[in-house]
Amino acid sequence: MLMVSGLPLFFLELSLGQWAGKGPLKVFGRMAPIAKGLGYGMLMISFLVVIYYNLIIAWTIYYTFAGFTSELPWTYCGNGSLTSRDCYQRDQAFQCSNTSLGQDTFWNKTCTPVKEVCSFFNMTLSEKELLENITLDMNTESMEMKIPDSMCNNGTHDIKLNTVYKRVSPSEDYYKRTMLGLEEDISWSNMGGLKADLVGCLAAAWLIVCLCLIKGVQSSGKVVYFTALFPYFVLLILLIRGATLEGAYEGILFYVNPTKEKLMGLQDVKVWAAAATQIFYSLGPSFGGLITLASYNKFNNNCHRDAILIAFSNCATSIFAGFVIFSIVGFMANQAGVSVEDAIASGTGLAFIAYPEAVTQMPFPPIWSFLFFTMLITLGLDSQFTMVETITTAIMDQWPKTRAHKGKVVIGACVVGFLLGLTCTSRGGLFMFSLIDWYASSWGLLICAVTEVLLVMYLYGWKNFMENIEEMGLRIPKVMKGYWLLMWLIVTPAVLILVFVMTFVQYSPANSSSLLPGLESKYTFPGAIQALGIIMSFSPLMIIILGAIYQLWRRNSQGKSISFIAMTSPNEKWCSAVADKNKNRAGLSNVSYMKDEVNITNYKYDDGM
């Protein structure tokens, strides 16, 4: 997916932004008036993602400060103020069974007689007793410990105690109950009130973003030197530590061994869709951010070299991070006595449930917790910077007078983002978070990507685009030029369309499974909420269509041609960034940009004129 979609789109957007020197709102409207809405569609995706993405940073800030204790609060059941009765920790359960000769189990935050647990769930205590073997590897010798776990009887057959109620680990319980404040009765009809500590963390996250961007893209560029390099330092430390843990080899072996059935068949296109999503999120095409940031480049910057270097470095970093994560997952599987596949969690479950649990089993847990969550903060800020910068640049492109008030624009955007993000900080805010995450950047992202590459290659013309690249002084080898054209003209749009169609065919309604694996995965959102998500997902397409209709009406009302050629050809303002600067310096604001009318690029400005 990197080679056939991510890299081609990455270079295409860098070239567009650098050559035009404008953000997505101006680039596509000037390239082809009918595509004016494409820039707004990209902006809508960034706007939706900005609302909920900063909440992840807020959660990370919460965990970072929560870890400033001698014992991490998610180590044992009962540490969190909202610990549920179903919280179960193996060491605590062993102490209960050991002190009472197997007649007690850990339930409801304390050692509880098995008979009492069975009675609570309207069952009777069975005379049978289940002996569960747990093997603990201790260097050269293996020792078996047998932990008694009694059974309840429902009148027809015996049932294991751990199937009578759903046991949750302390880390999962802390994530759901203490941090999020989720209760059993929380649903879309009962979202609960705002959680003050999460509101504070969200405010802190937006404050960091605001302070880093308030001076413009130059200040954020300096901050990124730290936020981009610090994760490598932490990942290296975690890899060294992870590689020394029991079971790390099995985890890494599972990571590098692909599952052929999932890779070879279209029946599991979700694997490929997930790869496409990963590439889009990590490289950032179709969000508008690449065009925005590239517009600040020098006109003759070697963006061809940058595209290849950044794309492959990014992918290599992801692969490297995989070794770090799966060494820890292998360790967790070894500790739990299960296979690596059964120990895997994904998404926020990996970051806020699985990894924090693994940290508690390492020496000096607070140190590893601090390093891990600080790394997550820096990684999240990088992406958030780009999307917020995209929004603020779009505002200043649309209303040029606001350029003199860059700080106020940034503050305003951050305040609006914070207020809208409050919907995700209620006790049921995870549902809103999940809805936006499920729909905001799925189909809409693919639609924008396909529209963009078809617009540039077939309406604007690949020959014109290659001339623009050469105009910036880039000399691309013939082999690479053939690769780019093959991808842009055929492979990239075909692959993206295929992924779009297959994900549409295999569509499943939004639920909370990606965030809360287990019992909560059964909660599928109501029909009205699903409709809201679908509208959210297809909003970029609606904006593109409405933008085309508006441009037809506007040009017609001004007496301009609305023919297909006029609507799909560059307008009078289309030119390079150099030509635009020369025009502005010369005060030729009404001069056409078209090459056959005035060659602005060659205009020589004289300070004395």
SS3 of 453-519: HHHHHHHHHHHHHHHHHHHCCCCCCHHHHHHHHHHHHHHHHHHHHHHHHHHHHCCCCCECCCCCCCH
Q: Which of 450, 585, 581 is nearest to 504 (CA)?
A: 450
Quick: pLDDT tens for 293-306: 899 899 999 999 99
Quick: pLDDT tens for 309-350: 999 998 898 889 889 888 888 887 776 667 777 666 656 667
Mean pLDDT of 104-118: 78
Residue-by-residue DSSP string for 314-350: HHHHHHHHHHHHHHHHHHHHHHHTS-HHHH---THHI
Query: Is residue 104 scored above 80 in pLDDT?
Result: no
Q: Which of 29, 47, 48 is nearest to 38 (CA)?
A: 29
For residue 552, tell me if it sits in a domain: no
CA-CA-CA-CA torsion sign (137, 139, 140, 143) = negative
For residue 563, tell me if it sits in a domain: no
* 372 φ/ψ sector (left φ>0, alpha ψ -120 to 50, else beta): alpha
b/e code 158-190 from CB counts within 10 Å (16+ = b): bbebeebeebbbbbbbbbbbbbbbbeeebeeee
Give the position of tokens 């699903």: 530
Q: Do 158 and 230 have their domain in common?
A: no
The one-letter amino acid at 224: V
Quick: pLDDT tens for 417-451: 999 999 999 988 888 888 888 888 788 889 999 99
Global pTM reads: 0.82
Radius of gyration over alpha carbons of the chain, in Å?
A: 28
Q: Do 160 and 189 have their domain in common?
A: no
Q: Decide: 280 and 286 in contact? Cβ < 8 Å.
A: yes
**The domain boundary residue, chosen from 495, 525, 544:** 544
- The torsion angles phi and psi of 153, rounded to 5 degrees, stand at -125, 125
**The domain boundary residue, chosen from 528, 544, 560:** 544
Q: Do 372 and 336 have their domain in common?
A: yes
317 token code pair: 């970093």
Residue-by-residue DSSP string for 260-307: HHHHH-GGGTHHHHHHHHHHHHHH-TTSSHHHHHHTTS-TT--HHHHH
Q: How many residues does the chain have?
A: 609
Q: Decide: 384 and 53 in contact? Cβ < 8 Å.
A: yes
Q: Decide: 153 and 160 in contact? Cβ < 8 Å.
A: no
Count of domains for the chain:
2
If pLDDT is split at 50, 70 and 90, which confidence band does 144 have?
very low
Q: Do 372 and 409 have their domain in common?
A: yes
Domain harbouring 387, CATH code: 1.20.1740
Quick: pLDDT tens for 376-395: 888 888 888 888 988 998 88
**The domain boundary residue, chosen from 544, 571, 604:** 544
Mean pLDDT of 211-238: 77
For residue 470, tell me if it sits in a domain: yes
Q: Do 312 and 448 have their domain in common?
A: yes
Q: Give the range of the structural domain holding residue 442, as residue numbers without chain letter.
A: 2-69+178-544
For residue 571, tell me if it sits in a domain: no
